[in-house]
Amino acid sequence: MQKMKCKSIHKKLIFFIDGELSSNKNQKIEEHLSTCQECSKLYQELKSSLNVIEKEKNPKTNPYLYTRIKQRLDDINESSSKPIFAIQQIKLFQPALVSFIIGLGIFIGISIGNFYPLENNNIAESQSEQYYINDLQQEHVEYFLLNNE
């Protein structure tokens, strides 16, 4: 029975601390707390935890808050008034720029190649002149041995 009463008191403790209960309920809880050590301990702990809020309230503010805000606003204005080809914006076009340079390189390479078609043919011809003909297959090894005898 006492346990049941304690449980019901526990549920109301925070409202008791905040003064939200009727005077009748308040009185009952006060009476219980004066006799029950366990509930009284819990009440003290809860009250102490909630007191932390009072300690944290209204912290001292920095006297230079406006100066800092002004500085940040000036930075924002400065960055928004930079020319369109500012370094940061150029970075956005870097991939396109790299692709363009590679494409240009390939185009120039092909163009240079097309300028010297004859030289390319000569190289092909000179290579064919020096081509090694393997005639071993046409001449049987046995025949070669017979001739040597």
> Residues interacting with another protein, by CB under 8 A?
10-11, 13-15, 18, 42, 45-46, 48-50, 52-53, 55-59, 61-62, 65-66, 68-70, 72-73, 76
State the minimum distance, in angstroms, from the CB of residue 63 to another protein: 9
Query: What does the alpha-carbon distance between residue 66 and residue 14 come to, in Å, rounded to a whole number?
Result: 39
3-state secondary structure of 90: helix
Tell me the chain's radius of gyration from C-alpha atoms.
48
The dihedrals phi and psi of 67, each to the nearest 5 degrees, come to: -60, -40
Closest to another protein by CB, 10 or 28: 10
Structure tokens at 93: 């076009």
Shortest distance, position 61 Cβ to another protein, whole Å:
5
- Measured from the CB atom, the residue of 34 and 61 that comes closer to another protein is 61
**Which residue number, 57 or 91, has a Cβ lying nearer to another protein?**
57
